[in-house]
Structure 1
Amino acid sequence: KDALTPMDGVVVVGGVYSEKFRVPDEIDGLATYMGMPEAQVEMLKEVSRATAKVDGVAVQDGYELWLHVMAFSVECAWSVVQIGHKSVLRRLYLWSSRRAAERDLVDEPHTLILSDSRARYCLDFTHSMNWELRRSSVEVLREGLGRLRRVAASYRPREQRSLLEYVPDLQAEENPLTTPVRVNWRVLEGLCRDVPVDFRDLLMRRGVGVATLRFLAICANRLYDVTPTLEDRAVVEARAAPVGDDSEQLCYDLLEAIRYSKLNEMRRTELETRVEGFIDWYFGPRQN
């Protein structure tokens, strides 16, 4: 965010997830300063909100988002980087406007999901094989609140303990289609009264969170026999070797790229100085 300014034609907004409510204002200010049309500004704000809702609610992999960063250019090309955490594990979600132009934002829209590990169960509504789950999650709302309440009463009560909880040192992951979920009936009542037109509309409705979507998945399974895939799409990250000569060479390659870039001279000199300072600090002065 410090290195790129509107003068470069590319800017970065966002940061830690607790500051996500500032992102629309950041987009407003920077995009307007860059002379972007109002329609593009509103589109960027909608993309920011949609990507956060997809990774935080529709991709139910057990990771909680803590970083949301968006970069966009004056031509309205954009990329989003989000990071989630689960205990000591981390997961990276990457988005790009090119990929989003080719697919719907709720149908495997990611450029990449990179993780420390894969979950045994991942209720991913955006998985390409879960198209029927997305459709059925909207359709069950037409069954009415009474029938949904009967589904909620038919599975294991939340107060009933699982035997897995008494197995020592077992970090058990439970099937999301059989595990009890706390239902917000006020939200469901509103959805049944005004049924969304499609899954994307459902996801973006105010109040729709992880528990609401999971309950609708349970209803689709019980009422329509829809069995979604619970495959985790994440690519497991190979741990890098300790920093060595290759890493140092990459830093010098980056320095060369900056020197021959088309950035304006002041910005290029600033970045060159910062990278040179990092190399000297981390690796020590290079021997001739």
Structure 2
Amino acid sequence: MRNVADLPLHGGHVPHWLAQRMRKLTRLILIMAVDEYGTKGLLERLSDPVWFQAFNNVIGMDWDSSGSTTVTAGMIKDALWKEELGIKAAGGKGKASRKTPEELLRIADLYELDPEPYVRTSRLVAKVDTVALQTGYQLYHHVFFLDEEGNWAVIQQGMNEREKMARRFHWFDAETFTLDPHKAIAGIKRELSLNTVAGEAREYQKTLLDVVQESLVKIERELESIRAIAKGYRPLVYYKPREPWEKDVLKRYESLGRFELNRKALEYARELSVNKYEEFLLLKGLGPSTLRALSLVLELVYDVHPSWKDPVTHPPDPFKFTYAVGGKDRVPFPIDKPAYDELISFLEELVSRHPEEKTLVRNVTKITKNWKFPEDEKRPT
């Protein structure tokens, strides 16, 4: 299952007076969450897009902004490094994301864990959401959360510059990386999505691994024949379209971008005798264009198909999110500074109290657990 949220690309920055308050409130929420649910419970909640979105609304971010991901994840990362809660975070936005392996080494050393599996997982989840699942988004944000028990979660975000939209991907302790590897789905469903990690893609993955062990010249020849057909040529021998749907398949791939084979990546696949799909995805040089080319050959030559369903299960609903102190951009109302400061003061005192005195929060949670916002009172923001 997949957690995904589609958000408009927003610029701007968080003003200093608000950022200071956000850092304090973020720290307090994390302390309370770990105290109540443990580190694994916090990771599970970070991998829930609705909970994560509610988190950034509570601290004052917007419900529909791409910046809500980068700012909130950054605040959480900073707080986890300053507070010893048994969980840390690596990575971030842009250049910071490329420091993830280095930072994971530090975290693993701190918690006496073997860093290799987590560095590999970091690379693999990025490859899945860039190469194996293609919906037009380029990753630019990647944060890896790791606790002292070895549990992990990942929040990463990609952008679609043409549509001015961002999409957020959540992961949590995945047992498989190649068959429905994510936890749940929330976002705007797209009409086309090249999804090679869907549950129904087993045959596709097996056939692809068989095909890449064949002669590279043969694969290139098959692709060139398909290119000729796309340009209107009709080969006398070897291959020609038999069904109208084949033209539709070509259009699908063309809508996703170029399809070009990376010879070195396929040579590596043959040299290493790659026989697992996740190993294939980790090959150096394997990018979206190469997988598109191979998928096209599989569909039109071998009649084996990936899934074209965008793995989104429900759209984001702003009315599910919690606006405690207002929004940075004055939506749904301006930040209420006195209320923000009072909330921080109250939570600071609560966190400092004896565990037996914290039953108030638990009782409030029980009372509000099944509360739903009245449908007739919902108003668009």
TM-score scaled by length of structure 1 = 0.73
Distance change (3 Å), C-alpha of 1:136 and 1:66:
same
Q: What is the match of residue 93 of structure 1? A: 169
Which ranges in structure 2 are unaligned for 5 or more consecutive residues? Answer: 1-76, 233-249, 327-338, 355-381
Matched position secondary structure for 2:102: helix
Partner of 1:176: 253
Contact 2:170 2:183 in 1 (8 A): yes
Residue identity in the other structure for 2:126: A
Cα offset, 1:141, TM superposition: 1.6
Q: Is the 8 A contact 1:48 1:70 kept in 2?
A: yes
* 100, 111, 114: which one aligns with 1:35: 111
Pick one of 295, 300, 307 that aligns with 1:222: 300
2:211 corresponds to which residue? 140
Encode CA deviations 1:238-261: one digit per residue, 9 max, x unaligned: 352699xx6127998x86677545
Percentage of pairs with the same residue? 25
Where does residue 15 of structure 1 map in the other structure? 92
Aligned to 1:192: 270
1:99-127 Cα distance to aligned partner (Å, 9 max, x none): x1xx3111111113433x22221111111
Task: Kindly report the root-mean-square deviation, in angstroms, between the aligned alpha carbons of the 2 structures.
Answer: 3.3
Select the residue among 193, 210, 226 that pairs with 1:155.
226
Deviations 1:33-56 (A, max 9, x none): x2323x2x2222111111111111
Partner of 1:281: none
Measure the CA separation in 2 of the matches of 1:226 and 1:257: 57
Q: How big is each residue's C-alpha offset from its partner over 1:145-175, in whole Å with a ceiling of 9 and x where there is no partner?
A: 12212211112359959xxxxxxxxxxx941
> Does 2:277 align with 1:205?
no
Q: Which residue identity is paired with 1:19?
A: A
Give the Cα separation in 1 of the matches to 2:310 and 2:103: 33
The answer as to whether partners of 1:92 and 1:113 remain within 8 angstroms in 2 is: no
Distance 1:59 1:76 in 2: 26
- Mapped to 1, the partners of 2:86 and 2:193 lie a distance apart of 38
Matched residue, 2:146: 72
8 A Cα contact 2:186 2:316, kept in partner: no
Q: 1:22 to 1:262 in 2, by over 3 A?
A: farther
Is 1:83 aligned to residue 157 of structure 2?
yes
Map 1:99-110 to 2 at 5 A.
100=174, 103-110=175-182
Partner residue, 2:377: none
Contact 1:145 1:192 in 2 (8 A): no
Distance change in 2, residues 1:52/1:261 (3 Å): farther
Q: Using the TM superposition, give the Cα deviation of residue 90 of structure 1 relative to its aligned residue in structure 2, in angstroms.
A: 1.7
Distance in 1 between residues matched to 2:353 and 2:122, nearest whole Å: 27
SS in 2 for 1:14: strand
CA distance in 2, matches of 1:11, 1:198: 31
Alpha-carbon separation, structure 2, partners of 1:262 and 1:234: 41
- Mapped to 2, the partners of 1:249 and 1:216 lie a distance apart of 51
Q: CA deviation at 1:92?
A: 1.2
**Cα separation, 2, equivalents of 1:76 and 1:249:** 35
**Partner of 2:324 in structure 1?**
248
- Aligned residues between the structures: 243
Letter of the structure 1 residue corresponding to residue 170 of structure 2: L
Amino acid across the alignment from 2:119: K
Letter in 2 for 1:3: A
Stretch deviating more after TM superposition (47-56 or 179-188): 179-188
What do residues 210-256 of structure 1 show as CA deviations (whole Å, max 9, x unaligned)? Answer: 1111122122223321022201012453352699xx6127998x866
Q: Do the aligned partners of 1:65 and 1:83 also contact (CA within 8 Å) in 2?
A: yes
Does the CA contact (< 8 Å) of 1:137 and 1:213 recur in 2?
A: no
State the secondary structure of the residue aligned to 1:224. Answer: coil
Q: Residue 196 of structure 1: SS of its match in structure 2? A: coil
**Does the CA-based 8 Å contact 1:141-1:195 persist in structure 2?**
no
